Structures are given as C-alpha cells and as structure tokens.
Amino acid sequence: MRRFFGFSPRDASIMDPQHRHFLECTWEALENAGHPPDQFPGSVAVFAGSGLNTYLIYNLLTNRKLMESAGLFLLKQTGNDKDVLATRVSYQFNLRGRASTFKPLARRLSWQFTSPVRRS
C-alpha cells in the first residue's frame, strides 16, 4: 500500500482533507519552482492561513470506535488542529525556514466590525 508523504492509510484518513490538500499544493509549488525540498540548499519559509475546521467535529468525533481506539489527543494532533498547518509542512518536507500559521483575516475583520466602539 502506497504511503504518500509517509502517512499510513489510517493517519491519512484521520488528517483533515484540507491539511492533506495543503501538503499536496506545497509539493506542487516546490516542484514547479524547480526546488525539490531535499535538494534545496537554502531556507524555505512556510506561511499558512487556517481557521477552525469541522472535519474533526463532524467526521471523527462522531465515530465512537475511532475515538475509543485513537483518543482525542491523537485525533486532534494528527492533523486536525489549525495551528499545526505550517509546522506540519515544514516538518514533512524538512524545510529549514520559518513556519507560521495565521488566523484568516476575515475573522479578525468581523471581530473589528462587531466590537463595541468606545467613545471618549
């Protein structure tokens, strides 16, 4: 059985599809740039934007058998936490630059527009 990015089929099924897609897009971007990660001598930084996803909530937490066998910590940290997106990519491709995951701008803007305005 083929292991894309070294993930077992079970780990791949637990990982949020958006995280898997981001890994694939990163691989394609590096490939198109002509810089295979294992041959590039310099630093490559990863900046990613990710918000709360619902794959964990609606697809994994509702599977009692999976919850009992894997546990919440493993399910969350195997690739379903928004905060590990850039770090995961850097680790998977052995990149040596900065890895930062940011919350989407829309969320910040919605907070600004819904926050009470203080007037002096």
Cα-to-chain-centroid distance, residue 1: 24
pLDDT band at 90, cuts 50/70/90?
very high
For residue 95, is pLDDT > 70?
yes
What does the pLDDT read at residue 70? 84
Q: State pLDDT tens for residues 5-63.
A: 788 888 888 888 888 889 999 999 988 988 888 888 888 899 988 877 788 888 888 98
Q: DSSP characters for 27-95?
A: HHHHHHTT--TTT--S---EEEE----SHIIIIITT-HHHHHHH-HHHHHHTTT-GGGHHHHHHHHTT-
Q: 9, 64 in Cβ contact below 8 A?
A: no
- Give mean pLDDT, residues 105-113: 50
What does the pLDDT read at residue 119? 47
pLDDT band at 79, cuts 50/70/90?
low
